[in-house]
Amino acid sequence: MLFDYEPKIEKYSILDNISDEIMVIDKQFKIINVNQTFCKKYNVSKKEVIGRYCYKVTHNIHHICKLPECKCPVIDVLNTGKESCGIIHSHKGIKEENFIEFFAYPIQNNLGKLTQIVKIGRDITEQVLKSKKIKNSEENLNKILSNVSDSIFVISEDFRILYMNKKAKEEFGDNPTENLYFEVFNKYNNISFETNFMDPKTKQKKYCDYLISPISNYNGRPAFIEIIRDITVRKKTEKKISDSEEKCRNVVENIPYSIILLDKNKKISDCNAIAEMYFNHPKKDLINTYFFDLFRMDQEKINFIGEKIQNAFNFDLSEIDEFEFINEKNVNAWVEIFLSVLKIGKNKFVQIILNDITEKKLVEKIITEENERLRKLDVFKKQMTDKTSQELKTPLTTLFKASKLLLTNYKDQLDQNAIKLLEQINKDGEKSIDLVGRMVDISRIGSDKFELNIQTESLIEIIKEATDELNEKIKHKKIKLILELSEEIYSNIDRNRFLQVLKDLLIYAINNNTQNNGKIKINLTQNGEYAEISINNGQEKSQNHEIDSSNIEDFDVEFQFSKEIIKMHKGKLIFKMENKTKQLNFIIQLPIKNWKNAIFNIFVLYKTGIPLYNYTYGEKSATLDDALISGGFVGIMAILREITKGSSQIKTIDHGDRKLVFESNITKDIFFILFVKEDLAIFRKKLHELIIEFDDVYKKLVENIDKTCSDTGNWENLGKLIEKHF
């Protein structure tokens, strides 16, 4: 036989020149011979491999190749006696992925008996990898097309569907015979069009955009690709926009204002029907007209308005202005213009909404003139009230003083009728003088003659002062006065004015208390940033009592002075009437003044500069001079001695955002210094009260101050005294 083992047969040299790897094996898979291509591929020599098992040489395994790794064609040859082929993947010694296609051929002896097998291997790695790449590319393309939101068909020339993506199947089903436009078209041109049809699923009209393009080669033959995009939403949106534009156009045309569009040269590009009517010209005549040619007015005003229009155009500004001009009827007229920028496509315009305000200007002129007349009348009224009140006050004061003088000096010389008459004259005279004074005050409210002397005052003190002054009236009416003043609250008020308001309200409550052994309850509470003083007249309110806020307009007039005074204090006076008792109650609301927030520190110093005590409010202020605390008192004391010059009067050093308020004690040896944000009268009052008690409590220490000043233990309780007053 040709391939019987003969070591020196020259025929093997032919096989060495073949590019395919060739191996001759026996029926036990032992290698009989190989060509040079095989040796180069596996980096072996013939001598090394002859007599070894083929699978050991090629796969480095110890058993015959079998599925699933590879299909060995030798096994088929042994089983069938016929040639066979197979593909083996990744042979021994090959680092990169490779594929070998093997053909196995039987070799028979003269008796037809299988003795040897020729195994020819051909490297098909490049073809396999290309095939895989094409397959992967097709898979990726299918994935992309499956996720495209458009329906995609590939159609043959005879209008058969060759491909449809996932979206197409969802929209049209697996066998779309309707609604597809399989028309005869030019193979070399693209066709696009829009159409609509009834969706068989939803029974609603559907709009689609079709694009049909030729494909020169689809699986070896010409075809066409048809892309169908659902534009139903877009069409509905376009319709809405169109309808909206139509509505806007109707609004613009029917709005009762002239609307004009100006280009950058201030020429009219468009206008509405109202503008045509206002300027008495059709739109075609107004287009391209210079805006200011429609108005007769001075050049200075034209330049001013023109600059505003230009600024609106250049910087996208919105402006409002008005100007006067002479109209076509040669009459003065006024217009108000609203300027804004409008962009239409790539073009930019200034939109002017023009409103004729001629009548409005005439009305404003009338109102201005009438207001001026009323103002002058009001001034005259106040002057007359002031003058009349002063003229009334003089004789009333004379009668009051005369009656008081007669009662004081000649009462024992008069009979009882004369005494009663004088007492009545005296009593009514006092009321009349007070009433005239109130009239003067009311006439002066709102003028420069009426001013408030504002100070930070304790509301508890003023309430107690008012009730003390009216104590005799309260006792005479047998009224029980209940004070609920549990909280110390301060406010910035004019003490005398507010005291008078409080007394007026209390007098009304006393005179109109109709209950037997009645009660008047005064309550002071804090409500947010306001203090509330309530004066409840009559029985204490129960949960079932209702407040009637109607029919109290008369009290607004009666207490007009009180309301104005409280209003000037940035507060409010409220009237409330209980339905059950018909008693009028009052609530006064005043802004709270937290004066403690204005204090940084309180220092107590000996005249030599030795600090006896330092009391800090809250956290140490960042603006506080450390020198003031740690030993810089000597310089300050020198300044204080120069200012006070031995006087006990309180002085102030003002540093703008911080102030030093100070006073010495009775010995002039100890100084009390307040380091504060603002100088309030209450600081002086409380500082004075603190020093009086200090001189009493620390009398012995003060008498020996030269010895006691340096021992801080002597003054450690001074903080409690400061807290008592501050």
Residue with tokens 């005074």: 565
The answer on 578 and 458 residing in a single domain is yes
- pLDDT band at residue 528 using 50, 70 and 90 as cut-offs: confident
Strands (E), 179-330: 191-198, 205-218, 221-230, 258-262, 268-271, 319-326
Helix H or strand E segment including 358: helix 358-409
3-state helix/strand/coil string of 297-325: CCHHHHHHHHHHHHHHHHHCCCEEEEEEE
**Segment 45-64 mean pLDDT:** 87
Phi-psi region of 347 (alpha: psi -120 to 50; beta: other; left: phi over 0): beta
406: CATH: 1.10.287
Phi, psi dihedral angles at 180 (to 5 degrees): -105, 140
Give the number of domains in the chain: 6
CATH of the domain at 625: 3.30.450.70
**Segment among 64-73, 156-165, 410-419, 429-438 with least mean pLDDT:** 429-438
pLDDT digits (tens, 9 = 90+) for 271-330: 888 888 888 899 999 999 999 999 998 899 999 999 999 988 888 888 888 999 988 888
CA distance linking residue 6 with residue 583, whole number of Å: 142
Give the torsion through C-alpha atoms of 244, 245, 246, 250, to 10 deg: 100
Identify whether residues 379 and 312 lie together within a single domain: no
Report the CATH number that the domain containing residue 339 is assigned in CATH.
3.30.450.20
Q: How many CB atoms lie within 10 A of CB 323?
A: 16
> Which of 322, 299, 306, 323 has the alpha carbon at shortest distance from 264?
306
Q: Determine the Cα–Cα distance for residues 155 and 489; give it in Å rounded to an integer.
A: 93
Span 249-270, average pLDDT: 83
Q: 230 and 169 in one domain?
A: yes
Using the 3D structure, point to which of 235, 267, 294 is the last residue of a domain. Answer: 235
pLDDT given at position 400: 73
Phi, psi of 118 (to 5 degrees): -95, 130
Nearest residue to 59 (alpha-carbon basis) of 7, 84, 111, 23: 23
**pLDDT tens readout for residues 691-710:** 999 988 888 888 888 888 88
pLDDT of residue 9: 47
Rg, the chain, Cα only: 56
**How do strand 519-527 and strand 161-164 relate by DSSP bridges?**
unpaired
* Strand-pair category, 519-527 with 480-484: parallel
Give the residue from 129, 157, 173 where a domain finishes: 129
From CA 117, how far away is CA 620, in angstroms rounded? 106
Q: 534 or 91, which is more confident?
A: 534
Domain end call among 558, 591, 624: 591
Distance, CA of 231 to CA of 667 (rounded, Å): 99
Res. 81: pLDDT tops 70:
yes
Give residue 349's pLDDT band: very low, low, confident or very high (50, 70, 90).
Answer: very high
- CA 644 distance to own-chain centroid: 55
Relative orientation angle of helices 495-511 and 560-568, to the nearest 10 degrees: 150
Task: Answer whether residue 438 is part of any domain.
Answer: yes
Q: Give the range of the structural domain holding residue 329, as residue numbers without chain letter.
A: 255-356
Q: How many degrees, rounded to 5, is the angle at CA 314 between CA 310 and CA 320?
A: 55
* Together in a domain, 264 and 335: yes
* DSSP string across 573-619: EEEEEETTT--EEEEEEEE---GGGGEEEEEEEETTS-EEEEEE-SS
Give me the amino acid identity at 35: N
